[in-house]
Amino acid sequence: DAKTTQPNSMESNEEEPVHLPCNHSTISGTDYIHWYRQLPSQGPEYVIHGLTSNVNNRMASLAIAEDRKSSTLILHRATLRDAAVYYCILNFGNEKLTFGTGTRLTIIP
Amino acid sequence: EPEVTQTPSHQVTQMGQEVILRCVPISNHLYFYWYRQILGQKVEFLVSFYNNEISEKSEIFDDQFSVERPDGSNFTLKIRSTKLEDSAMYFCASQREQGPNTEAFFGQGTRLTVV
């Protein structure tokens, strides 16, 4: 499986935008970039995914570099409820999701 | 909003006992999964299930594990003879279709404690 690299942890102030980076330099042309998050004591939760173009949904935005070797998950206005571990996962059609260690996001009130 | 439901939320069992973890996937979903997460570790894939058979399983999913969709709505994970190292959070997930352009929906998990 193609690997992703994320910072272990990040902090952000409440009500500020958050940019969570992910490097995936070995991404192949058919890999989709998925983001999931895991709130404390809960199951993983889908956030967003994309292939080449930037994507927006009600939860977040996904900015994908032109060469696709990196991407950034953008939370436009962080709330305390956004404190979670965020996982960047490459999905090429293999059924399973391969989770890494993710980025632990702390929101400072 | 539809959700994946898992029961029980917490199960305590003695080593060597059989346990069955239950999941009700989202009703129009066709692909079902079990994952586990040992405390402080990564979420790990166990098994995927489609069309009433296992489509992929990991090395963790040995002969002590089995899955079943007994009645068209429930999806169960059975561990025949639990070991201490089976203690973990077990997550069920479902997808409407296969492929990279779709999302998985996870349940809230069952915390299994083997004593």
Query: What is the share, in percent, of chain B residues with pLDDT greater than 70?
Result: 100
Q: Which of A97, A98, A101 to substitute to test the interface with B, most B CBs within 10 Å? A: A97
Tell me the pLDDT of chain B averaged across its residues.
Answer: 95
Q: Which residues pair with B36 in a beta bridge?
A: B44, B90
Window A:25-84, CB contacts with B under 8 Å: 30-32, 34, 36, 38, 42-46, 49, 51
Q: How many other CB atoms are there within 10 angstroms of residue B44's CB atom?
A: 19
Conformational region of residue B99, where left means phi above 0, alpha means psi within -120 to 50, and beta covers everything else: left
Report the C-alpha gap between A75 and A77 in whole angstroms.
Answer: 6
The segments of chain A whose pLDDT lies below 70 read 1-2, 94
Q: Which of A34, A43, A49 sits opposite B108 (nearest CB)?
A: A43
Cβ pair A44:B106 closer than 8 A: yes
**What is the percent of chain B with per-residue pLDDT over 90, rounded to a whole number?**
90
The two most distant CA atoms of chain B are separated, in Å, by 41
B95: its two tokens: 């997808």
Distance CA B21, CA B112 (A): 9
Burial class (CB in 10 A: 0-12, 13-18, 19+), A72: middle
pLDDT of residue A26: 92
Identify whether the C-beta of residue B113 lies closer than 8 Å to the C-beta of residue A44. Answer: no
CA–CA distances in Å: residue A51 to residues A54, A66, A94 = 8, 11, 15
3-state DSSP call for residue B87? coil
pLDDT band for B63, please (50, 70, 90 cuts): very high
**Which residues on chain B are in Cβ contact (under 8 Å) with A42?**
108-109
Contact in structure between A32 and A92 (CB atoms under 8 Å): yes
Mean pLDDT of B89-110: 94
